[in-house]
Structure formats: C-alpha cells, structure tokens
C-alpha cells in the first residue's frame, strides 16, 4: 500500500503540500481539478500543471478523487454519450500524465450525506454525524441550509452551493430512475470507458454510497458485498474496481468489512480507512481512527487488506476537528495525520509478524 492524503488544491484547502510532505509516512496526494464540474473536459495541460505543483513539493499524485460523473450519465438522458466522450478524454489525458487511479461515485443528487458537520464528542473534538431521524424530518432542499453554517468557509465535495441551489430540479431528473435503471446506466458507462482504461492502465475505483442505504427515496446501488460483486461481475475487467471506504460501507452494521475485503481480491484499487461510533444503527458519528474510539476492528480491516495483497493508495478518511483547527469538516490536517500514522503502525506490525513467518515483504 501507499499512504496518501487528500489535498483539495491550494485555492480550496487549508492544508498545504508542505505540511503533507512533513507527514513523513505520506508520499502521495489524492487530488483533483477542483473547479471542474461533471461533464467538463480536463485538459492535459491543466493536469500537467497540477502534477508539477505536487511534484515540486516532493510528493506525487497517487490518484484522482474524483472525476465526477454527470447527471446525464447517471440518469441515462440524451446527453450521456457526449458526456461519456468527454469523460474518456479526461481519462486519456490523465493516462498520458501517468496517473492510473480514478475514484468516482454513482450516487444520485447527493454525494455523501451527513446531518451534522460539527457534533461535539465527549473529548470536545467535533465530527461529522448522521441520524436517520434528522433526514426523515427535513426536505431534501433544506439539507444544504441545515449544515452550511458548519462548513468553516469551505466548499465541500458534492455539496457545491451552485449544485445545491437546484436540488428540486435534480430530484426531478431522477424521478424515473430506480435501482435497476441506475445499475444499467452504470454498466453502460463502465463498458464505454473500459477500452481507454485498458489502453492507459487506469484503475476505476467506484466509491460506495454513503450512507449505505437509500436517502430521500433516491436509489443507491453500491452498498454491500452482494451488489458490489454484481457490479464487478457485470463488467468483468480488472480495471473496474472499487474504493473500499470503511466509513461508508460500515454505516450499515450488517456489512462485515473484513469479509467484504477478502471477497474481492484484485478489485480494490483504493482504500479510505476510518472508524465510526454508533449510538444506534441509524445514529452514528465519525470517531478517531483507533479501534478503541469507535465500533470497527481496525486491525482486522487492515489485516484483510494486507492479506489480499492490497498495493494501491490508501488514505485516512475524515478526521475529527481537534486542537482548534479550522478546516473543511472531515479534512483538517491533525486528526488525519494521526489516522495515517495509526494505519501505518497497524500495517507495519502486521507485516513484521507475517515476515517473521517468512511470508511477505514490507511494501511501503
Ligand atoms: C467524502 C468523500 C466523497 C468521495 C466521493 C467520490 O468525503 O469520501 O465525497 O470523494 O464520493 O466520488
């Protein structure tokens, strides 16, 4: 595995490349052209400039999160082929710049959904949190207004104000799209992009739906082992893979994360590793990464990734806001750096224990 950290580019992130560079065990960043809307072309020059900036700081681009997929592609409307052509050109330009991991999602309207961005934990840190009761009590178009006060001046991915201003119209676009239709549209999209992925060796890593169930009646299709396996089988190409996001798939307590990881060897191209603390199955908050602070057994999760020979980029996911930091909720420096150190510690100890038995070599 390669430890990485997400970086939202200098105009949008409070965290600098220099700070990431000094987080000794982080060698690469996960980034994107943050000004781009779904359906926009990413030119090779723009990608090259981003790459040079990252490399000048002594890091490299380990992957893109995300090249977002347009609503026309997700709904299968008449513009989808045009948008797929543009998407293919983006992939081609990324491939030419030697970038080989691309995260994306196929969630309708909202990307991830949280009902609170600054819930206070017993130790005074603040975290993102979700209760189903809060979602049930609100109209989708009120969602953005209810959380925007805690965004710390940031533009959160998937919650761009311009997009959120049109939530009602977005719901209208999806009114005839059920789970089957959404799945068919995903397969259509994947089949169309696989040739360019084969040509440039690009691993597509779909991000699971977060939370892993339907919100506001919208269809959700990447929520558990069965439907992930179905998606991988429908387009059975090694470049069609997943982002194993523990904090998203783990929202559904019936998902056995280590078992899910072990069930799809070779198809996990990117990993987001974080922990959640549950008050009830539908009321959870994002804890520190350590097993003892949340509900998941992080050792077993990292061990499963190790055992399947995972060698892609991994990143600590949302961190708590600690030590007075003001940053994009979930994306401060301090707690993500602690999370990255912890995951590296787990990895090293697993690796040493295995190597004593003559099994595997240190891979990071
Ligand atoms: C939230 C992120 C998601 C993720 C997208 C991938 O913090 O994990 O926004 O980047 O779903 O396209």
Question: pLDDT digits over 292-332, tens only?
Answer: 999 999 999 999 999 999 999 999 999 999 999 999 999 99
> How much of the chain, in percent, has pLDDT values that exceed 70?
98
Cα–Cα distance, 129 to 286 (Å, whole number): 6
pLDDT for 149 equals 86
Place 336 in a pLDDT band, splitting at 50, 70 and 90: very high
Atom of ligand 1 at shortest distance to CA of 272? Answer: 8
User: What pLDDT band is residue 148 in, cutting at 50, 70 and 90?
Assistant: confident
Q: So what's the pLDDT on residue 357?
A: 58
248: Cβ contacts below 8 Å, ≥ 6 apart: 112, 207, 208, 209, 210, 211, 212, 272
Which residues are known catalytic residues? 207, 245, 272, 317-318, 331
Residue 97 has pLDDT above 60, yes or no: yes
Name the token pair of 301: 């999760």
Residue 358: pLDDT band (50, 70, 90) is: low
Q: Are 62 and 101 within 8 A, CB to CB?
A: yes
Tell me, yes or no, if the pTM score tops 0.85: yes
Closest to 25 measured CA to CA, from 355, 350, 352, 339:
339
* Ligand 1 atom with least separation from CA of 158: 9
157 lines ligand 1 (CB under 6 A): yes
**174 in ligand 1 pocket by Cβ < 6 Å?**
no
The response to whether residue 207 sits with its C-beta less than 6 Å from ligand 1 reads yes
Average pLDDT of the residues in 189-198? 98
pLDDT at position 172 over 90: yes
Quick check: 337 pLDDT over 50? yes
**Does the C-beta of 285 come closer than 6 Å to ligand 1?**
no
Region 174-186 average pLDDT: 97
CA of 274 to the centre of ligand 1 (A): 13
Residue nearest ligand 1's atom 4 by CA: 207
Pocket test for ligand 1, best of 32, 66, 329 (most atoms within 8 A of CB): 66
pLDDT at 364 (0 to 100): 47
Which 3-state string (H, E, C) describes 323-346? CCCCCCCCCCCHHHHHHHHHHHHH
Q: What is the mean pLDDT of residues 345-363?
A: 77
Q: Tell me the C-alpha distance between 238 and 93, whole Å.
A: 20
Nearest to 239 by CA among 199, 201, 186: 201
In 3D, which of 332, 324, 328 has the Cα closest to residue 153? 328
**How much distance in Å is there from the Cα of 358 to the middle of ligand 1?**
38
Nearest to 307 by CA among 236, 273, 259: 259
Mean pLDDT over 167-172 rounds to 92
Least confident of 26-40, 123-137, 292-306, 348-362: 348-362
Binding site membership of 66 for ligand 1 (Cβ less than 6 Å): yes
Ligand 1 pocket mutation, candidates 90, 210, 246, 332, criterion most atoms within 8 A of CB: 210
- What is each CA distance from 294 to 29, 125, 131, 208, 279, in whole angstroms? 26, 14, 16, 20, 10
Percentage of residues in the chain having pLDDT higher than 90: 88
- Reported as a pLDDT band with limits 50, 70 and 90, residue 165 is confident
CA angle 98, 104, 110 (to 5 degrees): 155
Q: What is the mean pLDDT of the chain?
A: 95
For ligand 1, is residue 286 a contact (CB within 6 Å)? Answer: no
- Tokens coding 123: 């130790």
267 close to ligand 1 (CB < 6 Angstrom): no
Determine the atom of ligand 1 nearest the C-alpha atom of 318.
7
């Amino acid at each position: 595995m390669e430890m990485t950290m997400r970086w939202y580019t200098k105009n949008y992130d409070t965290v600098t490349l220099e700070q990431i560079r000094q987080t000794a065990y982080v060698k690469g960043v996960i980034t994107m052209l943050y000004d781009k809307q779904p359906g926009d072309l990413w030119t090779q020059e723009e990608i090259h400039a981003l790459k040079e900036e990252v490399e000048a700081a002594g890091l490299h681009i380990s992957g893109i999160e995300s090249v977002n997929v347009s609503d026309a592609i997700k709904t299968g409307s008449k513009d989808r082929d045009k948008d797929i052509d543009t998407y293919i050109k983006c992939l081609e330009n990324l491939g030419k710049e030697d970038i080989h991991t691309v995260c994306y999602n196929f969630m309708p309207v909202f990307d991830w959904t949280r009902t609170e961005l600054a819930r206070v934990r017993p130790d005074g840190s603040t975290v993102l949190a979700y209760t189903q009761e809060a979602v049930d009590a609100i109209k989708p178009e009120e969602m953005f207004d209810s959380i925007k006060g805690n965004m710390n001046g940031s533009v959160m991915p998937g919650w761009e104000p311009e997009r959120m201003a049109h939530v009602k119209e977005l719901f209208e676009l999806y009114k005839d799209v059920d789970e089957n239709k959404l799945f068919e549209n995903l397969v259509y999209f994947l089949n169309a992009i696989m040739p360019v992925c084969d040509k440039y060796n690009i691993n597509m890593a779909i991000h699971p739906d977060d939370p892993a169930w339907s919100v506001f009646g919208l269809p959700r299709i990447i929520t558990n082992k069965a439907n992930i396996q179905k998606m991988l089988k429908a387009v059975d190409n090694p470049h069609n893979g997943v982002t194993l996001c523990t904090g998203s798939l783990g929202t559904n307590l019936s998902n056995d994360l280590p078992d899910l990881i072990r069930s799809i060897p070779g198809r996990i191209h990117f990993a987001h590793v974080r922990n959640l603390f549950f008050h009830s199955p539908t009321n959870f908050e994002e804890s520190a990464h350590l097993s003892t602070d949340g509900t998941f057994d992080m050792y077993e999760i990292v061990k499963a990734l190790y055992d399947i020979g995972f060698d892609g980029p991994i990143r600590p996911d949302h961190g708590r806001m600690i030590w007075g930091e003001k940053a994009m909720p979930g994306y401060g420096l301090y707690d993500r750096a602690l999370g990255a150190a912890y995951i590296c510690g787990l990895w090293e100890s697993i690796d040493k224990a295995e190597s004593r038995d003559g099994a595997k070599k240190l891979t990071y």
